[in-house]
Amino acid sequence: MTESTPDLGVERRGAVLWLTIQREARRNAMSPAVLAGLARALREAQEDRALRAIVLTGAGSQAFCAGADLQADKTFVADYSEPYGAFAQVLRLAQASTVPLVARVNGACLAGGMGLLAMCDLAVATPQALFGLPEVKVGVFPAQVLTVLQRLVPRRKLAEWCLTGETFEAARALEHGLVNYVDADLDGRLDWLLQRLLGKSPAAQRRGLYTLKKIESMAFEESMAFTESQIALFTLTEDAKEGQAAFQEKRSPDWKGR
């Protein structure tokens, strides 16, 4: 398992992997070390069949992630011979993940932090969390973030956020589908959500998440043909057989994850 670094905490709690950005002095802004650690952890998580969920959060109570570190000397400097950017690679890995990603939004979620939020499958937030895409205020635009955000929110609302750079509160994030829940008892709500995940079939969740992500960019008929082939595979798993048997026998299923 990927080890913790000063910038990114990595902790296994039972069947859940916790990834914590540990840069409170910079409002948990992303550094090269944060992005490299996230990429390693996401890659390795796909090979761990005992892992059931990944929680992504920020240290402290002030920020989830404030985006790129604008205090760094080389924030907007890149190696233009490298076709794959570090942040884009993290978003790609999250999109390919068959382990559910849950964002624990404990504070400000801004700029690239909105990309980390949007790449997750589920999200819970504290009422004090603040959201926004302020890139236009420093002369740039949230280009890569658009790729993951455009699936979640209406186009006109997304355009407003990008073009004005104004922030908004957690209640608006909930209204526009950025988060599943807003709760003053952030960890209580997170634990409640995780328990609902952990009690279900690992095989169904893994292949189901794969299916859900694959059809997002498909046209209707392509999606129907793909899901027709997938439903047969769902029924052939050991978990599907166990789930049906448990239902008929009126007992709790004993999931094998296969």
CA distance 159 to 41: 32
CA distance 216 to 211: 9
Q: Is 182 left (phi over 0), alpha (psi -120 to 50) or beta?
A: beta
* Helix or strand run (H / E) with residue 175: helix 170-175
Give the number of other Cβ atoms within 10 Å of residue 176's Cβ.
16
pLDDT of residue 70: 77
**Contact partners, residue 213, CB within 8 Å, separation at least 6:** 95, 96
What are 211-241's pLDDT values in tens digits?
A: 999 999 899 999 999 999 888 888 888 888 8
Q: How far is CA 112 from CA 41, 48, 233, in A?
A: 19, 27, 37
pLDDT of residue 73: 54
What are 77-86's pLDDT values in tens digits?
A: 566 777 778 9
DSSP 257: -
pLDDT of residue 246: 82
Which pair of structure tokens corresponds to residue 175?
């209204």
Whether 54 has a pLDDT exceeding 70, the answer reads: yes
More confident: 78 or 124:
124
Task: Kindly state the average pLDDT of the residues 109-127.
Answer: 97
First to last CA, the chain: 22
Burial of 144 (0-12, 13-18, 19+ CB in 10 A): middle
- Domain 8-198 architecture: Alpha-Beta Complex (3.90)
Instruction: Provide the whole-model pTM.
Output: 0.92
CA distance 14 to 150: 33
Average pLDDT, the chain: 92
Whether 3 has a pLDDT exceeding 60, the answer reads: yes
Task: Kindly state the average pLDDT of the residues 172-193.
Answer: 97
Q: For the chain, what are the domain ranges?
A: 8-198, 202-249
Which pair of structure tokens corresponds to residue 170?
């957690």
What are 12-45's pLDDT values in tens digits?
A: 999 999 999 999 999 999 999 999 999 999 999 9
* CA 68-77-143 angle, 5° bins: 55
* Helix or strand run (H / E) with residue 132: strand 130-132
